[in-house]
Structure 1
Amino acid sequence: MFFDSVAHAMGAAGQGGAQGPAGQLGAFLPLILMFAIFYFLLIRPQQKKAKQHKEMLANLQKGDRVLTGGGLYGRITSLDGDELTVELAEGFSVKVDRGYIAGLANPVKNQDKKAK
C-alpha cells in the first residue's frame, strides 16, 4: 500500500510542472546564460589575445628586440621563413622558430623606431 502511494506521488510530480516550448526554454535559460558569461569573460578575450600574438609574429622584422618562450632577450638579425636568427649578445646568435617568440621586448620603443 505504501509503495503504491509513493509511486503515484512520483508519477504526479511531472504533471504539474511547466509544459510547452516556454517551459523548456525556461529550463535551459540558466545554461544559456552561463555559456554567454563564459564566452564574454573567458573565450572571447583569449581569442583576441591569440589573434594579436599571431599578428605580432607575422609582423616581426630584422632589428626587433624580442623575448623568447624560454625567457631569453635578443635582437632579430635575420629572418628565413619561420626560422629567426636572434642575437643574444654581441657575437652570440641562436636560431629560434617563429612560434617560440613570446613577444616584443620593448614594444613601445619598437613602434617608435618603425614610425621614424
Structure 2
Amino acid sequence: MTIFSGYSRVLAQVAPWEWVAEPLPFAGVMENLVLPGLVLIVYMAFIFPQLKKRRDQRDLLNSLAEGDEVVTSSGLHGIISALDESVVYIEVSDGVELKFSRDSVSGKLAFDDEDDS
C-alpha cells in the first residue's frame, strides 16, 4: 500500500461536482469571439503590412521617370535613361546602359544637393 492510495478514497467522497461546473452567463459569447479575434490579429500582423508594402511598390514603379536614380533588387545603382511600360534602361556608367524589367527596381535614391567639400 502506498501513501497516495488513501487519497483516492477521500477524493471519491468529496461533494459532487455540480456546484463547480456552473457556466458563466457570458461564456458562450467569449467562445464565439475567440476565433474572429485571432483572425483579426493575424490579418493586422501579417496580411495588412504585406498589402501596404505591395501598394507602396506599385506606387514607386508608377512614379518612375527618366533621370531618377534607382537601385535594383540585385543591388545595381544607376540612373534611368529610358523607360517603357515593362522595361527600364538604367545607365550605370558613361555609355553603359543596362536593360531591366521594371519590376526589378526596388527603390529610388535621393540626390544629395550639398557638396561634400
Compute the TM-score of the two structures, normalised by the length of structure 1: 0.67
Alignment of 1:12-91 (within 5 A): 23=28, 25-91=29-95
Higher helix share: 1
SS in structure 2 at match of 1:41: helix
Where do 5+ consecutive residues of structure 1 fail to align?
Answer: 1-15
Unaligned runs of 5+ in 2: 1-20
Provide Cα deviations, 1:8-46, integer angstroms capped at 9, x if missing partner.
Answer: xxxxxxxx897xxx83x5334222111111212221122
2:108 corresponds in structure 1 to 104
Count the aligned residue pairs: 90
Q: CA RMSD in A?
A: 2.3
In structure 2, what is the Cα distance between the partners aligned to 1:17 and 1:51? 51
Q: State percent identity of aligned pairs.
A: 32
Local SS of the residue matching 1:33: helix
Q: If the length of structure 2 is used for normalisation, what is the TM-score?
A: 0.66
In structure 2, C-alpha distance between the alignment counterparts of 1:60 and 1:69, rounded to whole Å: 15
Higher-Rg structure is 2
Which residue of structure 1 lines up, in the alignment, with residue 14 of structure 2? none
CA deviation vs aligned residue, 1:68-110 (integer Å, no higher than 9, x gap): 011100100001221111001111110001011111122xx49
